[in-house]
Amino acid sequence: MTRTEQRNDEQQNDEHPAASLADVVRRSELILTCGPGGVGKTTTAAALGVAAARSGRKVVVVTVDPARRLADALGLDDSVAADEPHLVKGVTKRATDGELWALMLDAEQTFDRLVREQAGSRKQADAVLNNPVYQAISGSLSGAQEYMAVERLHQLHVSGDWDLVIVDTPPSRHAIDLLEAPDRLVGFLSHPVYRALTVGQRTFAKITDAASSMFLWAVKRLAGPQIVEDTVEFFRSLANIEGGLRRRAKEVSRLLRGERTSFVVVSSPRAEAVGEAEHLLDAIADKHFPLGGLVVNLIHPLPLELTDDDEQLLSDLDDGPLAEQLDWHRELTRLATAERNELVTLEKLAGEAPVIELPLLDVDIHDVPGLVDLAARLV
Ligand SMILES: Nc1ncnc2c1ncn2[C@@H]1O[C@H](COP(=O)(O)OP(=O)(O)OP(=O)(O)O)[C@@H](O)[C@H]1O
Ligand SMILES: [Mg+2]
């Protein structure tokens, strides 16, 4: 059976919505982990990859900035070329297992590939890619990292090589940037300054649009005439592939809303993170992106509930040798309870999607056994 036949076969068996992350991992073709900074998105992406591979699928995890030790666990050390999928060892051993591959996103190579694909000729592509302005700004274009992450997702998906592509989001100021990346690209192509810069030479001379002439005047003052020429040239060359870029942005946008796509929102119970995750869940629902699940990571486990008798017994111990442990227990209970209260609205916003709480572990997750353990907790 080919991969596509297998997918169709699976599709017919799975009409109902996912009830658990195990379902999500088994059925999705694309998973995006997103959420506030530092809550465990990269770790969750890797652990979902482990779970999927161990359920027999051929998975690639596209990661952006794994912590050094997680990168090592995924075999993504300096000797591995960026942008190349790399088989992760030690995850899949049984005959029924699939494969876990990891890939470090390289935004520049992803854009190069996009330009070459969309350009009518090699010359057109070179005109964009060799332009000094492109070379200067390609790494730092605002929102470019987010767009390249979803663009790479699209490239890997259409290659047909993978059952599942998991994309970890770049640490951005706003998690929501990822959802809006394709629309931003289209917005950029429609911006008056961009439009003015890309019209033909003669029309260009006649342009009196205040915004663009001010812009050019300012750039000329600040950076000299050569950079203006290069900039105009860059936008002109980009105009050759504009149709292609627009089409692709639409396709990516559609793919992100596809039936086989799942967004997994990761948060911690900390108030700032919860606020941002709530905002993100709202946007996901609003813009009709498919939510696969909510992971609340780094949560303090709720200690055992005490009966009145227990409390009485413990209060007798207050002055004894266990007083310190007792205080500690009370502090943990207070913290864990406060965290639960913080999470009520967030978990409601997840609606029907599965919610998984992951404890704050006392060790960093930085090796394959750590990921296997986390994968088991997730699914
Ligand atoms: N449940 C957990 N218990 C203990 N440590 C954890 C847990 N989950 C993640 N960590 C650790 O927290 C750190 C941050 O995790 P990670 O890099 O996955 O976060 P992130 O959301 O991707 O961050 P960024 O926004 O910077 O990309 C890592 O060192 C990771 O090992
Ligand atoms: Mg990360």
Compute the distance from residue 298 Cα to the ligand 1 centre, in Å: 9
Task: In whole angstroms, give the CA distance from residue 226 to residue 211.
Answer: 20
Q: Whose CA is nearest to atom 25 of ligand 1?
A: 37
Among 32, 42, 295, name the best residue to mutate to test ligand 1's pocket (greatest count of ligand atoms within 8 A of Cβ).
42
- Cβ < 6 A, ligand 1 pocket: 37-43, 65, 67, 171, 297-298, 358, 360-361, 364-366
Q: Whose CA is nearest to atom 18 of ligand 1?
A: 40
pLDDT of 192 strictly over 80: no
Each domain of the chain, given as residue ranges in start order, spans 19-185+256-302+340-378
Q: Whose CA is nearest to atom 16 of ligand 1?
A: 40
Among 264, 363, 365, name the best residue to mutate to test ligand 1's pocket (greatest count of ligand atoms within 8 A of Cβ).
365
**pLDDT tens per residue across span 33-54:** 999 999 999 999 999 999 999 9
Mean of the per-residue pLDDT values for the chain? 83
Q: Tell me, what's the pLDDT at 202?
A: 42
Structure-model confidence comparison of residues 349 and 201, the more confident one:
349
Compute the distance from residue 205 Cα to the ligand 1 centre, in Å: 53
Provide the sign of the torsion angle of the four alpha carbons 224, 228, 234, 235, taken in this order: positive
Compute the distance from residue 62 Cα to the ligand 2 centre, in Å: 11
Q: Whose CA is nearest to atom 9 of ligand 1?
A: 40
Q: Whose CA is nearest to atom 27 of ligand 1?
A: 171
Atom of ligand 1 minimally distant from the CA of 37: 25
Ranges 7-11, 33-37, 289-293, 324-328: which has the least confidence: 7-11
pLDDT confidence of 142, banded at 50, 70, 90?
A: low
Mean pLDDT of 183-200: 72
Q: What percent of the chain has pLDDT over 70?
A: 83
pLDDT confidence of 211, banded at 50, 70, 90?
A: low
pLDDT of 83 strictly over 60: yes
Q: Whose CA is nearest to atom 13 of ligand 1?
A: 40
Q: Whose CA is nearest to atom 11 of ligand 1?
A: 364
Q: Tell me, what's the pLDDT at 118?
A: 87
Atom of ligand 1 minimally distant from the CA of 297: 1
Superfamily (CATH) of domain 19-185+256-302+340-378: P-loop containing nucleotide triphosphate hydrolases (3.40.50.300)
Mean pLDDT of 269-278: 94
Compute the distance from residue 372 Cα to the ligand 1 centre, in Å: 15
Q: Tell me, what's the pLDDT at 198?
A: 67
Compute the distance from residue 40 Cα to the ligand 1 centre, in Å: 4
Provide the sign of the torsion angle of the four alpha carbons 8, 13, 17, 18, taken in this order: negative
180 and 252 Cβ atoms separated by less than 8 Å: no
Among 174, 364, 373, 374, name the best residue to mutate to test ligand 1's pocket (greatest count of ligand atoms within 8 A of Cβ).
364
Pick from 63, 273, 57: which is nearest to 162 by CA?
Answer: 57
Task: In whole angstroms, give the CA distance from residue 63 to residue 145.
Answer: 12
Of the CA atoms within 13 Å of residue 128, those in its CB half-sphere come to 26
Compute the distance from residue 127 Cα to the ligand 2 centre, in Å: 34
162 and 6 Cβ atoms separated by less than 8 Å: no
Instruction: Count Cβ atoms within 10 A of the Cβ of residue 160 and give its class: 0-12 exposed, 13-18 middle, 19 or more buried.
Output: exposed
